[in-house]
């Protein structure tokens, strides 16, 4: 997986699923899983309109779609870049 380290700030603009990367070591190889942990419009962690710090950007196998990894309130999350507005 090719990732691009980025440190920038973006505002969450749309309701999208949130995922959390879990890395696991199996026979010395790191595997990544990303279980869904909620969504940006979820009432208990409403993130729409919040500015978040983007840490990394990952390509996907879908044309034009990228995944971003970000931190909010000291928790790491991942979601599709399409949920974000323009760069702040």
Q: Is 81 left (phi over 0), alpha (psi -120 to 50) or beta?
A: alpha
- CA pair distance 52, 76, nearest whole angstrom: 11
pLDDT tens track for 70-81? 988 888 899 999
Q: Which one has a higher pLDDT value, 87 or 46?
A: 46
Contact 66, 54 (CB under 8 A): no
- CA pair distance 60, 1, nearest whole angstrom: 9
pLDDT tens track for 18-48? 998 777 777 877 777 788 999 999 998 899 9
pLDDT tens track for 17-26? 999 877 777 7
Question: What is the model's pLDDT at position 6?
Answer: 65
């Amino acid at each position: 997986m090719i990732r691009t380290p980025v440190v920038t700030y973006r505002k969450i603009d749309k309701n999208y699923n949130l995922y959390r990367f879990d890395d696991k070591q199996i026979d010395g190889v790191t595997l990544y899983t990303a279980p869904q942990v909620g969504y940006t419009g979820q009432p208990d962690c409403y993130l729409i309109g919040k500015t978040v710090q983007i840490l990394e950007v990952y390509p996907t196998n879908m044309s034009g779609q990228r995944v971003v990894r970000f931190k909010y309130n000291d928790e790491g999350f991942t979601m599709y870049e399409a949920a974000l507005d323009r760069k702040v």
